[in-house]
Structure 1
């Protein structure tokens, strides 16, 4: 029987979650099979995933009609559909949550992307989602924006599990880690248990390479006057995201060695694991599992879309690599400043965050629009 490399990865201390959730997946028994036999131990979702799942899928019609009969507005109908899928997925993953002592078995749901820059609205929605979904193993996704991080700190202090999403820069990850720590410190100072709270920091990958590779391709097309310059540009292609992630992991190690973290760990706190997100390879010239193979390592999570799960199960090359070639990673990021390369990584990260929020807002609004149309169509005349 062929080796399932997803199960091998677990032996290196990395958890594989799936970046996908649909009602079909739940009702067909496929999710249960993935969890029980394929090593999947968590689910991440986002507005783009729900748009694909719900728009044009008749499986949701009966519940939409029930919402219409109850006189619910479209937004509440949307929530009734999504919350049901999240609860059902949480129930399927509950044995993983129990067996792992609350390390895994989580299902993530994002607060509305339209409030990414509103701290109080994010806090309010995170509380409401957590209460209404009513599952210990739900994780509320909050963007790691300037407005999002104070919300992360507050809801962690209230005992709500958080997946901090849309992290691109190493600095944004560091700020996220300290927001988590401050939230735990606040809760501990109130004499409350901190051992049941879990968090991940979702650090995005392929979008970084897509952005930087595009800039390099533009420079090469415009014409390069020296072979050395061309070589420097080509040396960076497809390498920045993994290098950036390896540096973030080094920062993670420093943070968990700090006195402040150690004091929390002594009270039973769980580490906030780095979660590698945006892991499907966009460029067909690259390995379809490069964002898995290169970042396997302890106390991490990798969330994979279904195609990457299949590819990895088939041909991932499993080894602990998250700390290999770390010096080269630092050099590569430093080389972006070379006048021959001239890529401003801070600017790239800022662009990606703005783009990332937009990539969640647009499908969210599109889903609301298609739900409005479906409500109109299914409503009794």
Structure 2
């Protein structure tokens, strides 16, 4: 059996952590769907920066945008939506087959808006309307300013992928925002069936402390954070408050594992796939990790424990090694927002450069 089907059979969705026009044009994405059980994908500014920078496949579209007097961000969102709407159409059978649980693509609002709630809400509404696809998530960061934007966007009926979550506490804040948005829709007599996923970043934890802890703790922090968060998810989704919204027709918000490419060359290249296999979750895999899992992935019947496993003990070991988990979670979220903003600025330069040469 193809290893990607093993994950599907335990109840986990595989999404691709990449999008390029070449993947669409050369049939690679379609092959991933047909052969590797891929049922969705995510994008971010860093992904699009690399895609546009290293391909001439966007040149014709850029020329078309220029002829319409567009520039900068307007050109980017046209290019991104052209890719993502095509991808959304490829995933539409999965979306229809699963009644909207699977088959999604994601587009992020400008990361320059990460600390501007009102502008984030406005951008989310505009992009979703522009896409005209039911299976497109708008990505909003789960930071302090993003949380109220998530609630308002859900209340407005916009499917949201909450990005840049790094801890149980950050997840719970995002889940609360989603829940409030749904409860407000129910109170207003609106359809509460508005989908959302919450994206928890994994590998960046292990990169951040790689040279600060003993060898026996290497590559264990991200997984411990994931286990602790998954326990909170299982408890929350079974709570009386959430059960009430299900009874009104709402869906649970799924947990998505992000940043699951292994950075340590001495670690297993499928570490974050093997350790994060769990029902009703999504794992977004870079192409390299997807290929590695398809080639030699094994679970041996083991999935994530719903009670958090040994995460509390492992996290205590990190605390004893001098790692302040709460402070690091805040730091990683801030750094993540900055990295996306830096990629965005670079992306705008790439587009400007291409505008002068196409």
Into which bin does the TM-score normalised by the smaller protein fall? over 0.9
Greater CA deviation, 37-46 or 52-61?
A: 52-61
Give aligned pairs, total.
Answer: 357
Instruction: Structure 1 unaligned segments of length 5 or more: list them.
Output: 217-232
Partners of 2:54 and 2:29 in 1: CA distance: 21
Secondary structure, counterpart of 2:319 in structure 1: coil
What's the CA shift string for 1:153-174, capped at 9, x where partnerless? 1111111111101111110011
Residue from 201, 205, 208 that aligns with 2:202? 205
Residue from 336, 344, 351 that aligns with 1:364? 344
Partners of 2:275 and 2:218 in 1: CA distance: 15
Instruction: Specify the alignment match of 1:7 in structure 2.
Output: 5
Instruction: Specify the alignment match of 2:222 in structure 1.
Output: 241
What is the TM-score of this pair, normalised by structure 1?
0.91
Alignment of 1:168-317 (within 5 A): 168-195=166-193, 197-216=194-213, 233-317=214-298
Partners of 2:307 and 2:190 in 1: CA distance: 41
Partners of 2:307 and 2:142 in 1: CA distance: 28
Partners of 1:215 and 1:324 in 2: CA distance: 29
On the 8 A contact 2:118/2:149 being kept in 1, the answer is: yes
Instruction: Structure 2 unaligned segments of length 5 or more: list them.
Output: none
Partners of 1:99 and 1:27 in 2: CA distance: 25
Runs of 4+ with deviation above 6 angstroms: none
On the 8 A contact 2:230/2:306 being kept in 1, the answer is: no
Partners of 1:129 and 1:324 in 2: CA distance: 36
Deviation of 1:194 (Å):
1.4
Partners of 2:273 and 2:306 in 1: CA distance: 14
Greater CA deviation, 18-27 or 29-38?
A: 29-38
What's the CA shift string for 1:255-300, capped at 9, x where partnerless? 1121110000112211111100000000011111110101111110
On the 8 A contact 1:161/1:199 being kept in 2, the answer is: yes
Bigger radius of gyration: 1
Alignment of 1:148-163 (within 5 A): 148-163=146-161
Alignment of 1:311-330 (within 5 A): 311-318=292-299, 319-323=301-305, 326-330=308-312
Partners of 1:328 and 1:43 in 2: CA distance: 31
Counterpart check, 1:86 vs 2:84: yes
CA RMSD of aligned residues (A): 1.3
Deviation of 1:82 (Å):
0.8
What is the TM-score of this pair, normalised by structure 2?
0.97
Partners of 2:254 and 2:54 in 1: CA distance: 36
Partners of 1:74 and 1:211 in 2: CA distance: 33
Instruction: Specify the alignment match of 1:58 in structure 2.
Output: 56
